[in-house]
Structure 1
Amino acid sequence: MADIAFLRFANAFHDRLKDIGYSLRRAEHQWPDTDRAMLSRAINAKTLSAGNYLLLCEMAGLDPYAYLERPPHRRVTLKSIAEQMVTPSATRETEGAR
């Protein structure tokens, strides 16, 4: 399952604000769809909703796909299935007793 690398995004977002000369207060003023709490969460690598993440990427001119992390794809084969651990069967104390 893919996830957003919020730490990398936070660093890039912070660098972008510095590049354009925006403080959090100025960014909040220039980007009316944002608020200080949202901007603070972005700078501090906190989880953002998908909508807020995309909004901030758009406002800052960042590519949202640049911070998408995908785990390595693991191909399932008959061999990989055969090599999986299986719980060994065990005899039970009551087995066979009637």
Structure 2
Amino acid sequence: MDPLRAFRHKHPLYLVHLPQQLHHKNENADDEDEDEDEIEDEVEFVEEDCQCNLCKEHIWSFHICYYSSKTCNYSLHKFCAELHRKLQNHPLHPGPDLFLFK
């Protein structure tokens, strides 16, 4: 996959896919008559060892993927990395264009 060239960072950013942790939840483990159809799947979300350099929030496994630099310790949520630098004609701000700065 081609790297993302974000205006927020000088190095190319690569998409990193996060593994999803799926566990089986069995509330009645001692019940011998339990039907296997009653076993529920439970997803466990794991915090990655990084935070988004734009919004400063932690990156969790439920984000599914994020962008990261291979050159330095710089990471962005996928949503944050794909924000447009210039916002035009927004219904809540009908005046001049808005620009995103860091």
Per the normalisation by structure 1, the TM-score is 0.23
Higher helix share: 1
Higher relative contact order (CA 8 A, sep 6+): 1
Higher strand share: 2
Per the normalisation by structure 2, the TM-score is 0.23
Which one has the largest radius of gyration?
Answer: 1
